[in-house]
Structure 1
């Protein structure tokens, strides 16, 4: 079996002042506990601050992220990154495909639209045993992996902002003689 290469985080800029929103779905509580344990340990190791919010299931995670990110920005206390944690186990109906696909799509849409680093730790598995193995900190630690992914993208975002503080990321219209008048 091939072992994935992991970012050790040793070359990252300090994330000591980072506010990380963790939204966890508690549908499978024992799995959620392990995912959260891994995520909060990774965030603590980066010396960042975690704020944990609980929702019933995976489909509610993107909604909660959108609401909470907007509220935090209004209060001038924006989140620097988000970690989504949950579990979807295939059942006898097509509901699994809807929940797994739509939650992932909505989270990616939010992340790209808001340029918000986001670690997706929503497990999509066939069995509870697979979920347990992926969630356990002592095994695959997917909660920790999701937090580390969000932190890595946040570090990238901060590094790029520091390189060119006079420029924004995104589309900048080209000036023409007509627009300069």
Structure 2
């Protein structure tokens, strides 16, 4: 019996139109996340639009609104990258924002079959956030872009486009 094919998203060129939605609540962290995402998308040969929103809860509805608008204009996005940061505070607001933003992103991705890289950091403090955001360290913005492109390659391989 033949071995099944294994597909893994790599770093090969992926011509695509990508929407990047970034939350600017923490500017220094957002700058680093965006730097990593842009570098990864450029390396893959993807075209992208960047839209900024105030916080993580605004990311999912913005993606839905802009994805619908792009499709209506016959210029749909092939993938989406969500970037932001939520730092735990003294109230339960952290749990609401992290859980609801993650749930809404997953719902969007599945319902629309939209490759999506979730680069919303959920951390205890600013030091953790910066370590994860910095391109020279963990580069989670770049990782989110790579994840979106990997799923897009798999979607195309499966013949869903």
Which TM bucket (shorter chain)?
Answer: over 0.9
What CA RMSD, in Å, does the superposition of the two structures yield over aligned residues? 1.4
Show the counterpart of 1:106: 104
Show the counterpart of 1:62: 60
CA–CA separation in structure 2 for the residues paired with 1:154 and 1:54: 23
Show the counterpart of 1:93: 91
TM-fit CA distance, 1:15? 1.6
TM-fit CA distance, 1:9? 1.9
Of 19, 29, 32 in structure 2, the residue corresponding to residue 31 of structure 1 is 29
**TM-score, length-normalised on structure 2?**
0.92
More helix by share: 2
CA displacement, residues 44-70 of structure 1 (integer Å, 9 cap, x when unaligned) = 000000100000000000010000000
Show the counterpart of 1:42: 40
Aligned-partner SS, 2:55: coil
CA–CA separation in structure 2 for the residues paired with 1:121 and 1:20: 14
TM-fit CA distance, 1:8? 7.4
CA–CA separation in structure 2 for the residues paired with 1:104 and 1:88: 11
**TM-score, length-normalised on structure 1?**
0.82
Of 78, 81, 88 in structure 2, the residue corresponding to residue 80 of structure 1 is 78
- Which ranges of structure 2 fall in alignment gaps of 5 or more residues? 1-7
Of 117, 134, 137 in structure 1, the residue corresponding to residue 135 of structure 2 is 137
Which has the higher Rg, Structure 1 or Structure 2? Answer: 1
CA–CA separation in structure 1 for the residues paired with 2:9 and 2:109: 23
Alignment coverage as a number of residue pairs:
154
CA–CA separation in structure 2 for the residues paired with 1:84 and 1:99: 14
